[in-house]
Amino acid sequence: MLKPNVLFLCTGNSARSQMAEAFLRYYASDLFNAYSAGIEPKGMNRFTVQVMNEIGISVEGQYSKSLREYLGRELFAYLITVCADAEARCPSVWPGVQYRLHWQFDDPAAFEGTEEEKLAKFREVREQIKAAVEAFVAQERNKYGTAAASRR
């Protein structure tokens, strides 16, 4: 059985969508193929790498990608936007997408403050994304009756 593809989409593909991709890969690589992209990719934010490493989840091998990299090349069962801008600007019709979801998170990369305050914002958003991905995985495992235990 082929695993469904999930695409997380945000504006810059530097933080939120990258975290979501890493969490889905970590918690449910047996169930899904995880991808991320941005409307206007800006490169991986260094704080994204740092806060994910803090909890033992690597984003190594991930990089900032454009939405265009996947249009017409990959089929996604799920398209999950993680910011209002991406939700508004994403093509309304995407061939193959069965489920389109929107999860709203603040953009930690846009947060102004000291280095420690920025890190705190990245950690806060990381935890919100982690919770959303865990809930999504639990729901999908229940829906399909898969008994595989989720990793904690």
Give the domains, in start order, of the chain with CATH numbers: 5-144 (3.40.50.2300)
CA gap 42, 142 in Å, rounded: 36
Per residue in 22-81, pLDDT (tens digit) is 999 999 999 999 999 999 999 999 999 999 999 999 999 999 999 889 887 889 999 999
Instruction: Quickly state the pLDDT bin for 151 (edges 50, 70, 90).
Output: very low
State yes or no: is 92 an active-site residue.
Answer: no
Out of 7, 10, 51, 109, pick the active-site residue: 10
Out of 15, 19, 20, 90, pick the active-site residue: 90
**Under a CB-based contact definition with an 8 Å cutoff, are residues 129 and 82 in contact?**
yes
**Under a CB-based contact definition with an 8 Å cutoff, are residues 40 and 64 in contact?**
no
**Under a CB-based contact definition with an 8 Å cutoff, are residues 27 and 133 in contact?**
yes
Residue 94 has pLDDT above 90, yes or no: no
pTM of the predicted model, to two decimals? 0.90
Out of 51, 83, 109, 129, pick the active-site residue: 83
Instruction: Quickly state the pLDDT bin for 149 (edges 50, 70, 90).
Output: very low
Which residues contact residue 35 at a Cβ distance below 8 angstroms, ignoring those fewer than 6 apart? 5, 6, 7, 8, 21, 70, 74, 76
State yes or no: is 64 an active-site residue.
Answer: no
Residue 52: both structure tokens together: 């994910």
Per residue in 111-144, pLDDT (tens digit) is 999 999 999 999 999 999 999 999 999 999 988 7
State yes or no: is 103 an active-site residue.
Answer: no
